[in-house]
Amino acid sequence: MVGMQELARRLRAARNLEDFIKQTLDGGVDFIDLRFVDLPGRWHHVTIPTTRLTPRLFTKGTGFDGSSVPGFAAVESGDMVLIPVRDTATAEEYNGHHVVAMVATAALADTREPFALDPRVIAARAEKALSDSGHADVSLWSPELEFNVFSRVSHGESPGGAYYEVCSREAGLLDDDSTEPELGHHIRPRSGYHAVPPADEHFELRNEIAARMEAAGIPVKYHHHENGAAGQVEIEVEGEPLVVAADHLMWGKYIVRNTAVERGLAATFMPKPLADEPGNGMHFHIKLARGGTPVFHGEDGYAGLSEQALFFIGGVLTHGRALAAITNPSTNSYRRLRPGYEAPTNLFFSAANRSAAIRIPKYATEPETKTIEYRPSDASGNPYLSMAALLAAGLDGMQRRIDPRENGFGPFDRNVHDLPSSERDKIVPLPVTLEEALIELARDSAFLSESGIFPEEFAPVWMGLKRRESEEIGGRPHPMEYGLYFDC
């Protein structure tokens, strides 16, 4: 029996389906785990014994109830099937059982046609739309995974109360019952950027996460402690094609959470888990290429950008307020998008200005490294949908030749808060609530479906899901309101 890492390598190198099945059976695998993503962006899975691993599984799939999955089919038409994608296979040991896991796409039970609202199907259409456009034939996406690691988390809510409490020894946030030794190596608030041990207590955890990500075929670029004191860290991965990058984001988040749990820790990608500390973003570094030639590089353009790159930026910023409903689709997202916490609040572009919605990294000087970084997005967004929507907006900008310099989107190479109010007031802000973002999406969603990337029914289904979340939060009193208004 080979080790799980070696088995994963062999599965990815399998010559064909027959070889893949042989490698799986010879590897002593107990179960096949099929994982799929719902519309909001959470993984689900169904597990089958290896005895059911036949070629038929890859054509006919295995059935599931789509009506129980958020954003999928209605109850009266809930029968669907999951069809595994062989190229996504990896291997892991779980409680002594050897498991081969694969990402699966949802299809209609009768015709086996891909389900139009499956996020992975939407992402694949985005890649096809890019190729059909003639502007480029591949997009490469390098996401930054920012998250917090806490030593203990408890939370709950009921009609009569709500609470949350987190503990972090790094930040000196310990409860009265803690048995952890107090060693005094605390990180001061907003001072954790690139901290080293012993203050950085999660160095070994990140090493283990990075090793497991690499073993799963996810190319890690680097990892480090982020600015937040309470276990805020970052792992960045190398650029990959859109669907692969989204697959790997889902795998990466799964590895992060489960590796933390094994060590008695809790990891969260929540955009703003703590007050008065920086939140967690999910920045996307984006590159386009055509026939192997970089599309975004321009020798004499601003920050080394091509005309096509500027048009792409123009499209993203033009649709930026509507995009927020997809890339920042939680009420908690807008706790993060506030001035003073290293998160963008305005829609403009700039070279190296980290308050910009789109930053042009100055270190990317070679044609093949020329990239743009979209900074507002966070991990509460479904990565397949976030990247597909950003690509749809960028393609719209390229098709319509939207020049951001002629539409008030910059570039601004200085702190925009230092601009005269007459200039600052002209800058388009990002929405400040989820409800505001949903209003913008209702007004500006045509670019999603006109590109052929998103089905017509996506926007109303998505807005319905997210409005229910917003209304659920909005109808509950906040604990701080008791301090402000109890004696009114």
**Residue 410, Ramachandran bin (φ over 0: left; ψ between -120 and 50: alpha; else beta):** left
The yes-or-no answer on residue 155 being catalytic is no
The yes-or-no answer on residue 169 being catalytic is no
Q: Which candidate in 98, 206, 223, 283 is catalytic?
A: 283
The yes-or-no answer on residue 144 being catalytic is yes
- 207: tokens are 């090493």
- DSSP character at residue 163: E
Q: Which candidate in 354, 401, 405, 414 is catalytic?
A: 354
The yes-or-no answer on residue 9 being catalytic is no
Q: Which candidate in 26, 65, 180, 262 is catalytic?
A: 65
The yes-or-no answer on residue 204 being catalytic is no
Q: Which candidate in 33, 170, 200, 226 is catalytic?
A: 226
Residues near 248 by beta carbon (within 8 Å), at least 6 away in sequence:
213, 216, 217, 218, 237, 240
Residues near 313 by beta carbon (within 8 Å), at least 6 away in sequence:
305, 349, 358, 372, 394, 397, 404, 409
Q: Which candidate in 127, 144, 200, 201 is catalytic?
A: 144
Q: Which candidate in 127, 201, 234, 378 is catalytic?
A: 234
The yes-or-no answer on residue 435 being catalytic is no
- 395: tokens are 């393609």
Q: Which candidate in 38, 127, 146, 444 is catalytic?
A: 146
**Residue 155, Ramachandran bin (φ over 0: left; ψ between -120 and 50: alpha; else beta):** beta
CA angle 307, 312, 313 (to 5 degrees): 95
The yes-or-no answer on residue 373 being catalytic is yes
**Spatial contact of 315 and 394, defined as CB atoms under 8 Å apart:** yes
Q: Which candidate in 375, 378, 435, 444 is catalytic?
A: 375
The yes-or-no answer on residue 65 being catalytic is yes
Q: Which candidate in 240, 373, 396, 435 is catalytic?
A: 373
As a whole number of angstroms, the distance between CA 357 and CA 374 comes to 6
Residues near 417 by beta carbon (within 8 Å), at least 6 away in sequence:
339, 355, 424
The yes-or-no answer on residue 146 being catalytic is yes
**Spatial contact of 47 and 68, defined as CB atoms under 8 Å apart:** no
3-state secondary structure 3-49: CHHHHHHHHHCCCCHHHHHHHHHHCCCCEEEEEEECCCCCEEEEEEE
Report, as residue numbers or ranges, the catalytic residues.
65, 144, 146, 226, 234, 283, 354, 373, 375
